[in-house]
Amino acid sequence: MKYLKDIDFKNKRVLLRTDFNVPLENGKVKDDWRIRAVLPTIKYILKQPKSKIVIISHLGRPEGKIDPKFSLRPVAKKLGEIIGRKIVFIEDMLNNEGNDIIRSLGEGEIALAENIRFYPEEEKDDENFAINLCHHFGVFVNDAFSATHRAHATVAQIPRFKPSCAGLLMEKEIDELSKALKPPKRPSIAVIGGAKIETKLPLIESLADIYDVVLVGGRVAVEAQEKKIAFKQNVVFPDDYIDGTLDIGPKTTEKYKMAISAASFLVWNGPMGKFEEEKYRKGTEEIYAAIISSDAYKIAGGGESVEFINSQNGADKFDFISSGGGAMLEFLSGKKLPGIVALENNL
Ligand code: 3PG
């Protein structure tokens, strides 16, 4: 796979795929974490003389139709505020007006194109669509790690037709999550919670082969216990719960805290209970407190865990926080991700 340092961006018009799938509220960006995460890549490219960037991203799931509530306009505004310069907005990259804007971009300019999922071809992984999108560009940079598990045109097809490389965020994600796939220190502990049993089960099974101990909580633990799914012996389930099964109970919390305090390498994905309700937050709060006070190398990820960490202003307490939800789960489940495979195959 090629990285930014392997490419000469001088004089190049660069197509940059990001994941600006951010929460919006009243037409404004509610959490700009994913926007800030790609700033190092944008700055790196624009440091090289006469380079210019067109950014493409998806937002939400508009199902191949133009839907103003999924417009990236609020993201363009936010990106402009953060970077301190105007971001050119491209309504449609494929019509004449879009082509003119792309061709006339000046040195150091940044444009953001409207939601790429407004085109049905994106999710259909359409080859011609990918070719049409990238033909004005010298280089394609993919910095959307959190979309690499999608076999979509801007993720999996473009690298077949353009010199391509991974951005700095993608590079860091692959480095750090590769460590999590081969924990360099022991005891290694994985703490897995959350609700999506269909995505978490392969993860738990795969981590059980790699980690000394896998502690399971949240809805996923309840469902695995209800379904009497058999796991390896190092997969640990709660002994008690609160209010039926809405949070892990005190006995489980103590047992999990003990295990966490002994860890030298730790990965955390998913809350321990229905943490969005105050009275079922305690399990997650106590496990989080145990994690941040442990001396282990700490990696976290997943939408809900990141939301919780941010609510505690705890991001700097972790060695790495993944921007990937589904992508992190699939990576740690040992799956090949289409967006990474495409970059690896790019010559
Ligand atoms: C995410 O938020 O995990 C990514 O942006 C992928 O979004 P998707 O699940 O709608 O493909």
Asked if residue 19 and residue 155 are part of one domain, the reply reads yes
- Has residue 265 got a pLDDT over 90? yes
| 340 within a domain of the structure (yes/no) | no
269 in ligand 1 pocket by Cβ < 6 Å?
no
User: Looking at residue 252, what is its pLDDT?
Assistant: 98
Over residues 56-82, mean pLDDT? 98
Q: Is residue 339 part of a domain?
A: no
Q: Can you tell me the mean pLDDT for 137-154? A: 98
Whether 18 is in the pocket of ligand 1, judged by its Cβ within 6 Å, is no
Structural domain includes residue 176: no
Residues 114 and 238 in one domain: no
Asked if 213 and 300 sit in the same domain, the reply is yes
**Res 197: pLDDT:** 86
CA dihedral 18, 21, 22, 24 (to 10 degrees): 130
Q: Judge whether 113 lies within some domain.
A: yes
Pair 162, 194 in one domain: no
CA 105, 110, 115, 119 torsion-angle sign: positive
Can you give the C-alpha Rg of the chain in angstroms?
21
Residue after which a domain boundary falls, among 132, 167, 202: 167
Residue 107 located in a structural domain: yes
188 and 317 inside one domain: yes
Residues 223-228 have a mean pLDDT of 94
Residue 155 has pLDDT above 80, yes or no: yes
Is the pLDDT at 154 greater than 90, yes or no? yes
Torsional class of 244: left (φ above 0), alpha (ψ -120 to 50), beta (otherwise): left
Q: Report pLDDT for 192.
A: 97
Catalytic status, residue 279? no
Which structural domain range is residue 219 located in? Answer: 182-332
Q: Which of 119, 134, 167 represents a domain boundary (last residue)? A: 167
Query: Closest Cα to residue 150, out of 325, 347, 333?
Result: 325
Within this chain, do residues 150 and 198 fall inside the same structural domain, yes or no?
Answer: no
The answer to whether residues 209 and 293 belong to one domain is yes
Q: Is 144 in the same domain as 25?
A: yes
Q: What span, in angstroms and rounded, lies between the C-alpha atoms of 117 and 11?
A: 29
Q: Tell me, yes or no, whether 187 lies in a domain.
A: yes
Q: Which of 138, 167, 196 is the last residue of a domain?
A: 167
Same domain, residue pair 156 and 194 = no
Task: Write down the catalytic residue from 60, 80, 249, 303.
Answer: 303
In contact, 201 and 225? CB cutoff 8 Å:
no
Which of 17, 18, 20, 21, when mutated, tests ligand 1's pocket best, judged by the most ligand atoms within 8 Å of its CB?
Answer: 21
Q: What is the DSSP string of 1-49?
A: --BGGGS--TT-EEEEE------EETTEES--HHHHTTHHHHHHHHTST
Calculate the average pLDDT of the chain.
97
For residue 223, give every residue at least 6 positions away whose Cβ sits within 8 Å of its Cβ, in sequence order, or none.
197
Flag whether 341 is in a domain. Answer: no
Atom of ligand 1 at shortest distance to CA of 152?
11
Instruction: Please indicate, yes or no, whether residues 71 and 199 belong to a single structural domain of this protein.
Output: no
Q: Does one domain contain both 299 and 204?
A: yes
Residue nearest ligand 1's atom 2 by CA: 21
The pLDDT of residue 104 is above 90: yes
Q: How many domains does the chain have?
A: 2
CATH number, domain containing residue 200: 3.40.50.1260
**Is position 342 within any domain?**
no
Whether the CB-CB separation of 141 and 15 falls below 8 Å is answered with: yes
For residue 242, the CA-to-ligand 1 centroid distance in Å is 31
Residues 280, 316, 81, 113: is their CA dihedral positive or negative? negative
Residue 325 CA to ligand 1 center (angstroms) comes to 7
pLDDT in tens, 3-52: 999 999 999 999 999 999 999 999 999 999 999 999 999 999 999 999 99
34, 200, 219, 282: which one is catalytic?
A: 34
Among protein residues, the one with the nearest Cα to ligand 1's atom 5 is 21
| Whether residue 130 is found in the same domain as residue 217 | no
